[in-house]
Every structure is written in structure tokens, then in C-alpha cells.
Amino acid sequence: MQVILIKDVDNLGASNELVSVRPGYARNYLIPQKYAIEASESNKKVLEERHKQIRKREEKLMAEINSVRAALAESPIKVGAKTGTSGKIFGSVTAIQIARAIREQKGYEIDRRRITILDEVKEVGTFKAQIDFGKDKIVELQFEVAGE
């Protein structure tokens, strides 16, 4: 029996996927627990429409990610930090500071939880960070720490 999964099911498949299972498993577990619906012709058409919408959403997301990547590759982000006489920073640079610098310098609003700083930033210089947009879409970012 073929069913369309509504939710992710371990060892079976992901949501919006057409799978073949035994009729008893579908009737007694998947359908009553709202994990799946029967794969009738009308439900298959609805599934195809969902796949089209998902593809459009992903294309739009990729275009946005590419524009962010191009803007960030133009020049490094400049982050200010208080420093001592030897060039060491008081404290360290955080993802919040990088997100604020991106918003002010490039005009993109990026959630601080998506930013990962690769090295520990304790002194003035150029460093790298990554922005994770989900589903293995990671953008490299260079930022420059300048003393104030």
C-alpha cells in the first residue's frame, strides 16, 4: 500500500514523501497517528503541488543566500573592540557584535545564532566566521577587528 507521509517517520521517510508500506502498518499505525495519508490520485496531485512550492521557496532562498554571499565577499566586516596597549582585546568579539556590524555595514539582518566564529578572537586582526542558513548552506565571512 502506498501512503504519503505527513511527518518524518524514523526508518521510513521524511514528510511529503511517497512510500510503500504494508497495509496493516498503514491502517493501524500511520494513518490513525496522523503520520500519513492514503496515496489516492487527488492526494498525489496535492503532493506534487507541495513539491513545486518547496522548490520555488528553495530557489528564492538560494537567490537571497547568493546576494548575501556577494555582499559579504566585497569587503571584510569591521568590528570595533576596546584594546590595551599591546593590541589585546578586553573580552572577546561575539556573534552579537558581528550580527550588528553586518546589519549596520551591509544592511542584512542575520540572526546571531546562525553565526559561528571559527577562531577565538582575543586580539586585533582579521578572522573568519561562518553563517549557517540551514540544509548545508554555509557562507564564509571575513571580519576585521579594529581597536578603539
**SS3 at position 136:** coil
Contact between 26 and 36 under an 8 Å Cβ cutoff? The reply is: yes
Domain match, 76 and 58 both: no
Task: Tell me if residue 68 falls in helix, strand or coil.
Answer: helix
C-alpha cell read off for 127: 578572522
Contact 127, 117 (CB under 8 A): yes
Taking Cα atoms as reference points, which of 138, 130, 60, 139 lies closest to residue 95? 130
Q: Which domain holds residue 21?
A: 2-62
The cell numbers describing 141, all together, are: 565571512
Which phi and psi angles does 29 have, rounded to 5°?
-125, -60
CATH code, domain carrying 102 = 3.10.430.100
The verdict on residue 57 lying in a domain is yes
Same domain (yes/no): 20, 39: yes
Q: Extract the C-alpha cell encoding 40.
A: 489516492
Q: Of the candidates 93, 70, 83, which has an alpha carbon nearest to the alpha carbon of residue 143?
A: 93
In a domain, 86, yes or no: yes
For the chain, how many structural domains are there in total?
A: 2
H/E stretch holding 53: helix 41-74
* Residue 80 sits in the same domain as residue 132: yes
Residues 29-83: tens digit of each pLDDT = 999 999 999 999 999 999 999 999 999 998 998 888 888 888 888 888 898 888 8
Residues 79-126 have pLDDT tens digits of 888 888 777 888 888 889 899 998 898 888 888 898 998 888 888 888
- Residue 58 counted as domain residue: yes
pTM of the model: 0.65
